[in-house]
Amino acid sequence: MHPHRIAFVIFDGFQSLDLAGPHEVFQQAGGYDCVIVAPASGPVHSGSGLPVHAGHAVTALRPEGIDTLIVTGGTGVHTARHDPALVGWIAAAARGAGRVASVCSGAFLLAEAGLLDGRRVTTHWARAERLAREYPAVTVEPDPIFIRDGHIWSSAGVTAGMDLALALVEEDRGRQVALDVARHLVLFLRRPGNQSQFSVGLWSMQPSSDPIRRAVTAIHADPGARHDISGLAAHAGLSPRHLQRRFTTELGIPPAAYVERVRVEAAQRALENGGDPVESIARRYGFGTAETLRRSFHRCLGVAPSDYRDRFRSTTGGPR
């Protein structure tokens, strides 16, 4: 039985972790023949300056015989997608490949090759708007970590490529092999593909004034407390109306929505790490009822709390 052949596409200015992370997952799993393809063979410099040796040039490597094609992203992708030889080779390789995947902004190269029209895809949240604008035939979803649409897989930025790679290994070799790889690399196996890219501490702006900072600190210190507008205004030393306006201006999100996201993240951690009933978690973190928690999870994460717990714990063998 021949090893499963994976071709990684890189280019000047690629993101090194888009290659190194998934490559390491496949090498740890075994049974994969990984090759690196670039516009020209030899040293290819990543966006951070790290040189990687590409063993094959697109002009020399026949696109047949590739089982999985993975296209990396990076700052150089917008130059690379205007390279007709590279884009043409990607399109040809994709025709025979059983699976095609992109990591981060590698989706731009797949879109340029005409492979994403009519499909759902994701990319790094900071690139999603541009991808949707420049390729209107593509349905871009900026929230999920990775998406599978038929034989096309796409993932968000950097470390999400490892989540995608683990999912591919699990599909090829089974859950136990993927679990062994995740344990060896000290990774979670695996974050659900539709888990949000966004953490409240990452996507929100930071408060620029002491009053709003005090309100935010109070929310994070006890997510389950009664953080209505009057209570937050008391923490900030402002009137409720003034607090509402300044909070939204400084953080880019109203107080109620911010409180909900912090509570959802607290509930996520509880579901990941313990076996408490969903009803208890809902009460502890200020949702009141399991139904309210369920609605918030669907709104913020697109998944039910019970499904979130099952999918996380079923692939880790228990709490982390």
Q: What's 224-265 look like in SS3? A: CCCCCHHHHHHHHCCCHHHHHHHHHHHHCCCHHHHHHHHHHH
pLDDT tens per residue across span 200-232: 554 556 788 999 999 999 998 899 999 999 999
| CA–centroid distance for 210 within its chain | 33
Q: 16 or 311: which carries more pLDDT confidence?
A: 16
Question: Distance between CA atoms of 8 and 216, rounded to whole angstroms?
Answer: 43
Half-sphere exposure of 289 (CA within 13 A, CB side): 3
Q: What is the pLDDT of residue 320?
A: 34
Residue 120 and residue 147 in contact, taking contact as beta carbons nearer than 8 Å: yes
Compute the average pLDDT of residues 38-46. Answer: 97
Instruction: Give the E-state strand segments of 16-71 in sequence order.
Output: 32-38, 42-45, 51-54, 56-57, 68-71
Q: What is the pLDDT of residue 186?
A: 72
Which residues are marked as active site?
A: 104
Q: What is the pLDDT of residue 229?
A: 95
Question: Distance between CA atoms of 151 and 131, rounded to whole angstroms?
Answer: 20
Q: What is the pLDDT of residue 90?
A: 98
The answer, yes or no, to whether residue 54 has pLDDT greater than 80, is yes
Q: In whole numbers, what is the pLDDT of the chain averaged over residues?
A: 89
Task: Kindly report the pTM of this predicted structure.
Answer: 0.66
Q: What is the pLDDT of residue 315?
A: 40
Confidence of residue 191 (pLDDT cuts 50, 70, 90): low
Q: What is the pLDDT of residue 275?
A: 83
Q: Among 124-133, 173-182, 209-218, 246-255, whose mean pLDDT is lowest? A: 173-182
Q: Which domains does the chain have, with CATH numbers?
A: 4-184 (3.40.50.880), 200-314 (1.10.10.60)
Confidence of residue 314 (pLDDT cuts 50, 70, 90): very low
Q: What is the pLDDT of residue 317?
A: 36
Q: Among 105-109, 145-149, 194-198, whose mean pLDDT is lowest? A: 194-198
Instruction: Give the E-state strand segments of 87-140 in sequence order.
Output: 99-103, 120-121, 139-140
Residue 145 and residue 155 in contact, taking contact as beta carbons nearer than 8 Å: yes
For the chain, what percent of residues have pLDDT higher than 70?
91
Compute the average pLDDT of residues 67-80. Answer: 97
